[in-house]
A and B are shown apart, each in its own frame.
Chain A
């Protein structure tokens, strides 16, 4: 299985750290001893990581699958492969803040009891959260709003939710022109009344506070960037529901 995976990965994706991590995941699954359904789940996650790529999503899925394998596999060889797979996420670099997890992964290899390995991995996760917050993509995912330029006024009418997994929305316009940009959005999910997100246009910055807002930019420069400015904190779920926007003539 690992050899076939390696051949397929090289053929479809090419060499790289992610390629190595997939091969190690396949090796871990091949040597896995225990519940056979786990192998199915591991391979399914590996496969999904191939499909849902982009900005670290693939690496995060493979890392989560490897940690779960490391947790439940009864074979030391399999656990070694899974731990090595976790290690490859570091040089790959698309997921940040995984370093405190690596010692836990390494130390879990020789442990014989499932609950000991599980506890160690949980401790590693807790240390990651305490030291620098949960892992995130090294470059934020950017969404783009669907522009409807056919009518008299340019508008973006599809609603887009922004959260920490996709914290940036770009409003692009084919041509620059005069007009006021009116943005309708709803921000929330935090435990205070402070700023949740910001609208950036050229050098101008408009803050979006908690609650529903209609914002206006007098002279927007495209692309306009709407970005969540809150970092991860426990018990906070910062979210901005972009509800739509339109460019109005100055005399409207």
Chain B
């Protein structure tokens, strides 16, 4: 750094980033870090592009420090597989202050995204719904080569030949199709940049001082960064929402809002919540007779739209997907019989470890603190961004229930419509204590997701990809993390209380807010260092499992979508050699062990065996076929098959001599057993 101390400040930033690019590239090569052809080139490229777009002002101290930290971590990368991932994330986090400073320039939002462009286009696997959207776009292109023909059908399609995806979005992707996957992604990146630009204009109009920086943060941080440039309609929906709001705020009238609301529904039925919120905000703006005429006109328009779809379009938009009586009955009985599950899902959007915002976007806690401030300072903006967000969130949870997360597609993508409200609110508490700490942590997490895209994909099985990578399967942290699929009321309550407390402290600008965050993080880390006692069957690492198969075989949560009771995966044991081996804690003569399993009923009762050295014990029995829940019988006649997911769980408690060191759990004479969990020394 001393070399560039003498440079005038107008060029210093550019030189620093060029040197940074060279440093990252050289360190990667010299230390032999993995993925030299992809990450080892794309990260230096991101630094080099930042040098090009940078205004040349002095670089931030944080960038210098983080570059140094990258060097030190790359130096010790061979010690642990986690360190290369951390080093790459830190190298990208070091660019965040520069990207924020770039945002203040002309076309700053576009320039701030350019360094991320190669990472998004090259690194993120083309998976989830992306190839299906590409296939629909391809079908619209005359003479297309059929590159995506293999993705013609998808789980969740209403009938063969009709996708559950609608046509408007694939049509808008047409300009990018000739350039292949990268072309489709660039079109989506353009949608995202346009949405961020309009958001920045809204924030500027509202009197927010850091409008460009906040918009760039919205693009980079999760959940926005998680689908930045990917072929998903979330950012386009935000563009339509924000464009409608901006035009209405600047020119008044109902036309812009109505067109945006209609396009949102045509884009994806799921966005009907945003449309409802827009109309609600419009209604609240009217006074007198117009306030009452508005809902009537809207109801008439909805009815006309449904009739148009039914008679003219043959039901291709709404009726073919959602017009069946069972689905409509499901919507009707949800509030009566499934309220706890819906409530859990609603809280899960914040605290769920796999898809909730808290764990990959802790800046959201600061944003939540800013919501009352936004409401106080700019009630109109609060209404126009808040009502669509709230209506969408309620609609998502109510409509999709357990599937609100959209797993295994990128975590948090379903919560994108809440982003404008949160970003606008974040700007109101930017100077409060604790906000920057949360934004820094969020930037680090977002950078890790950009550098290691596999962290974005979870499978609704209770294990988060990032926590699993960092802590490993044997860590005691897992039972302390809230997962919707294995819901624990105390754990959910604890984390909800922590999140609310943190938001309150930031709202009050308390001097304890950073201390509180540090204590919570430290406690989490210490819990992470403890050894696991409760082993869920699906979490057992390969070293502890011999034979056995996960049930169901596919990790896609679609295979568990229609399970009516617990949706946790199990381990199937049905052969002599199928075994689970668990370490026993030392220090006592005996260890309490609890085993949860299901044994299908048959002619002869099956059995499960626990052994520890010469000691062994066996439990014979069979599970009971459960009655279908009442809400299911209200929808249609249900007769449950004797499959493991429909059987009652059995719990076996036993005392095991600890001297032998490890416990073996297996089946008796090859009878089928489905293992749920094993708790050792509870």
Interface positions of A (Cβ within 8 A of B): 5, 8-9, 11-13, 35, 37-38, 40-41, 43-48, 50-57, 59-61, 63-65, 67-68, 71-72, 95, 114-115, 118, 121-122, 125, 128-129, 134-137, 141, 144-150, 161, 163-166, 170, 172-175, 189, 232-239
Q: 7 A-B Cβ contacts within 8 A?
A: A35-B61, A48-B525, A51-B529, A64-B75, A128-B75, A170-B543, A172-B546
| Binary interface encoding of chain B residues 509-540 relative to chain A, with 1 for a CB under 8 A from any of its CBs, else 0 | 00000000010011011111110000000000
Q: In the complex, which residues of chain B have a beta carbon less than 8 angstroms from the beta carbon of A145? A: 542
Our pick among B36, B72, B477, B575 for the contact of A189 (Cβ within 8 Å) is B36
The interface stretch among B51-59, B77-85, B198-206 is: B77-85
Q: In the complex, which residues of chain A have a beta carbon less than 8 angstroms from the beta carbon of B73? A: 61, 64
Asked if B496 CB lies within 8 Å of chain A CBs, one says: no
B440 lies within 8 A of A125 (CB):
no
Our pick among A37, A122, A129 for the contact of B440 (Cβ within 8 Å) is A37
B548 lies within 8 A of A57 (CB):
no
B528 lies within 8 A of A165 (CB):
no
Our pick among B1, B68, B577 for the contact of A149 (Cβ within 8 Å) is B577
Write the chain B residue with the least CB distance to A147: B542
B529 lies within 8 A of A13 (CB):
yes
Distance A172 CA – B264 CA, assembled complex (angstroms): 52
Distance A172 CA – B581 CA, assembled complex (angstroms): 13
Our pick among A12, A65, A141 for the contact of B526 (Cβ within 8 Å) is A12
Asked if B312 CB lies within 8 Å of chain A CBs, one says: no
Q: A13-B529, A115-B1 are in contact. Are A232 and B78 (CB under 8 A)?
A: yes
Q: A47-B525, A72-B68, A144-B542 are in contact. Are A60 and B80 (CB under 8 A)?
A: yes
B34 lies within 8 A of A239 (CB):
yes
- Beyond the given pairs A52-B80, A72-B65, 19 more chain A to chain B contacts, judged by CB atoms under 8 angstroms and listed by A's residue number, are A11-B526, A12-B529, A37-B61, A41-B65, A41-B69, A44-B521, A45-B69, A46-B525, A47-B524, A48-B86, A57-B80, A65-B69, A115-B2, A125-B75, A134-B76, A144-B543, A165-B78, A165-B81, A238-B32
Minimum Cβ distance to chain B for residue A6 (Å): 12
Minimum Cβ distance to chain A for residue B102 (Å): 19
Q: In the complex, which residues of chain B have a beta carbon less than 8 angstroms from the beta carbon of A234? A: 29-32
Q: In the complex, which residues of chain B have a beta carbon less than 8 angstroms from the beta carbon of A48? A: 82, 86, 470, 525
Q: In the complex, which residues of chain A have a beta carbon less than 8 angstroms from the beta carbon of B83? A: 57, 60-61, 165
Minimum Cβ distance to chain B for residue A212 (Å): 16
Asked if B629 CB lies within 8 Å of chain A CBs, one says: no
Distance A235 CA – B29 CA, assembled complex (angstroms): 5
A147 lies within 8 A of B547 (CB):
yes
A-B pairs with the 10 shortest C-beta distances?
A57-B80, A51-B528, A47-B525, A174-B546, A174-B577, A60-B79, A149-B547, A60-B76, A64-B72, A150-B549
In the complex, which of the residues A8, A50, A137 has the most CB atoms of chain B within 10 Å of its own CB atom? A50
A51 lies within 8 A of B577 (CB):
no
A37 lies within 8 A of B80 (CB):
no
Asked if B129 CB lies within 8 Å of chain A CBs, one says: no
Count of inter-chain pairs, beta carbons less than 8 A: 195
Distance A137 CA – B444 CA, assembled complex (angstroms): 26
Minimum Cβ distance to chain B for residue A197 (Å): 14
Q: In the complex, which residues of chain A have a beta carbon less than 8 angstroms from the beta carbon of B79? A: 55-57, 59-60, 95, 135-137, 165
Minimum Cβ distance to chain B for residue A68 (Å): 5
A51 lies within 8 A of B477 (CB):
yes
| Binary interface encoding of chain B residues 408-437 relative to chain A, with 1 for a CB under 8 A from any of its CBs, else 0 | 000000000000000000000000000001
Distance A72 CA – B84 CA, assembled complex (angstroms): 23
In the complex, which of the residues A35, A71, A145, A150 has the most CB atoms of chain B within 10 Å of its own CB atom? A150
Minimum Cβ distance to chain A for residue B513 (Å): 13
Asked if B62 CB lies within 8 Å of chain A CBs, one says: yes
In the complex, which of the residues A41, A56, A135, A173 has the most CB atoms of chain B within 10 Å of its own CB atom? A41
Q: In the complex, which residues of chain B have a beta carbon less than 8 angstroms from the beta carbon of A64? A: 69, 72-73, 75-76
Within 8 A of A (CB), among B349-365: none
Q: In the complex, which residues of chain B have a beta carbon less than 8 angstroms from the beta carbon of A148? A: 549
Asked if B465 CB lies within 8 Å of chain A CBs, one says: no
Q: A145-B542, A146-B542, A234-B30 are in contact. Are A174 and B78 (CB under 8 A)?
A: no
Q: In the complex, which residues of chain A have a beta carbon less than 8 angstroms from the beta carbon of B525? A: 46-48, 50-51
Minimum Cβ distance to chain B for residue A245 (Å): 13
A147 lies within 8 A of B62 (CB):
no
Write the chain A residue with the least CB distance to B441: A44
Within 8 A of A (CB), among B330-364: none
Write the chain B residue with the least CB distance to A125: B75
| Binary interface encoding of chain B residues 72-110 relative to chain A, with 1 for a CB under 8 A from any of its CBs, else 0 | 110111111111101000000000000000000000000
Minimum Cβ distance to chain A for residue B508 (Å): 21
Distance A95 CA – B72 CA, assembled complex (angstroms): 14
A236 lies within 8 A of B529 (CB):
no
In the complex, which of the residues A37, A141, A189, A233 has the most CB atoms of chain B within 10 Å of its own CB atom? A37
B29 lies within 8 A of A12 (CB):
no
Our pick among A9, A128, A237 for the contact of B32 (Cβ within 8 Å) is A237
Minimum Cβ distance to chain A for residue B491 (Å): 18
Asked if B269 CB lies within 8 Å of chain A CBs, one says: no
Within 8 A of A (CB), among B1-52: 1-2, 29-36, 40
Within 8 A of A (CB), among B251-275: none
